[in-house]
Amino acid sequence: MAAELVAGALLSASLQVLFERLGSEEIPQLFQGKKLILDQLYELKTMLWSAHALLNDAEEKQLRNQEVRMWLIELQDVIYQADDLVDRIDYEALRSKLEDDQSSSSSASKVLMKFMPPFLSTFDKTVKLDSMEILRKLKILVVQKDALGLREGAQNKPSPRPPAPLVEHAHVYGRDTEKKIIVDLLLKDDVDSGSNISVIPIVGMGGLGKTTLARVVYDDDRVQKYFERRVWITVSDEFDIFKITKEIFEGVTNDKCGFENIDELRTKLKEALRGKKLLFVHDDVWNESYSLWGTLKSSFESGANGSKILVTTRSTIVASTMATGQVHHLQTLLNEDCWQLFVKHAFGNNFDQNSNRDLQALGRKIVEKCKGLPLAIKSLGGLQRCEQNPKNGKTYLAVTHGRNCTRKRAPFFQLYG
């Protein structure tokens, strides 16, 4: 399951980056007056959105449907082709800008150029043809959704997860600022919030490190001293009020729960929490029901002012449903933090930056394709650790790089098959 999550996270991240790049100001400037190309690139962006809407459902169904799995492989190939196209457009936009800056043309010449009809250069024609081909492939993939039973906007709900792993804080990279923000929110007494207990969601795509960040915050010395009781619950997609309430009761009282009646259990929990400053972590929440959340939360209101619930979720709907104030949107890691994380998992503690230059160069390219996703970096770093020579390293690079891969060299999804 973790491998498929990595693959899905990489595809989702690649698409998000493509959306941003296709919406940049440089594109209309580069193709000014060339409506056909601009319309085609806009259609490409729209079609990528349509494919993205099917991604969650496809990620889940590929585990038991080989045809869906092949659909995802084809989608991956098309995304890499679109990424290549945007790379070339970005390069041409930069080259064109540099030429304009260095141009010695007179003002009169520039004014005259504005009134001349635009012409299609060799580059323009290449962009037109390539975008048409990418669009053709995307349309075929999107049309296949009915035959494959893929639904738009479906939530990709995983199997129940094991308890969150313990985290070695020295091995968490690039989260110091976000840790400080959330710790400060936890230690703040919300006197004017209208409720004794506040909810702070951490929201982001799968593989981004939400659980890791929550664990680092949960174990912080200041947080441990501030709250009288702390309880961590892994919720996953089964939002069972009795089960969650029972886990919290046992965590708060350190006693085995002997209650079978939910109302009796909630009453006893309310008594046990009365006047205490509490911290609950609800990890991996999927249920979007406002009424169910209200029912569960009502048992916690007897806690002292300043009590907090920290929630991790992929769903912005869950975040807005549960939040009482600020929602923290977790960002991808910066490049250098990604590299440090990769080094830890690919080369270990004895890494010598002056050796293995070829492997380091390949590693940098692998990290670039992970789009700042910690889970992807750790997983691929672990694979690289097993192969400490450039030849085998190139195999992994080709898998993650995607471009110029033949079917004999398995794409990313097939690597984990």
Tell me, letter by letter, the H, E, C secondary structure of 150-218: CCCCCCCCCCCCCCCCCCCHHHCCCCHHHHHHHHHHHCCCCCCCCCCEEEEEEECCCCCCHHHHHHHHH
Distance, in Å, from the CA atom of 333 to the CA atom of 209, rounded to the nearest integer, reads 10
Contact between 261 and 267 under an 8 Å Cβ cutoff? The reply is no
pLDDT of residue 231: 93
pLDDT of residue 116: 45
Tell me which residue of 334, 380, 366, 373 sits closest to 11, measured CA to CA: 373
User: φ and ψ at 234, to 5 degrees?
Assistant: -90, 110
Q: What is the distance, to the nearest Å, from the Cα of residue 380 to the centroid of all Cα atoms in its chain?
A: 16
Distance, in Å, from the CA atom of 378 to the CA atom of 393, rounded to the nearest integer, reads 15
pLDDT tens for each residue of the chain, 417 residues long: 455 555 666 677 677 777 777 887 788 888 888 889 999 999 998 898 888 888 878 877 887 888 988 898 889 889 889 988 988 898 888 888 777 666 644 444 454 444 444 556 888 889 999 999 999 999 999 999 888 888 886 655 544 555 566 666 677 889 999 999 999 999 987 655 567 889 999 998 878 899 999 999 999 999 999 999 999 998 877 788 888 988 898 888 888 887 778 888 888 899 999 999 999 999 989 888 888 888 888 888 888 888 999 999 988 889 999 988 889 999 889 989 999 898 888 877 777 776 767 777 888 888 887 888 888 888 777 776 655 544 444 444 434 444 443 333 334 433 333
Contact between 356 and 368 under an 8 Å Cβ cutoff? The reply is no
Helix (H) or strand (E) holding 241: helix 241-253
- Residue that is written with structure tokens 């990709």 in the block: 156
Q: What one-letter code names the amino acid at 290?
A: Y
pLDDT of residue 69: 85
CATH of 175-329, one of 2.40.50.100, 3.40.50.10090, 3.40.50.300, 3.40.430.10: 3.40.50.300
pLDDT of residue 409: 33
pLDDT of residue 392: 47
Tell me which residue of 41, 43, 45, 39 sits closest to 19, measured CA to CA: 45
DSSP states along 79-91: HHHHHHHHHHHHH
- The SS3 of residue 232 is strand
Tell me which residue of 282, 189, 187, 278 sits closest to 241, measured CA to CA: 282
pLDDT of residue 191: 55
Q: Which two tokens stand for residue 177?
A: 């600022």
Distance, in Å, from the CA atom of 202 to the CA atom of 330, rounded to the nearest integer, reads 7
- Residue that is written with structure tokens 């046990």 in the block: 272
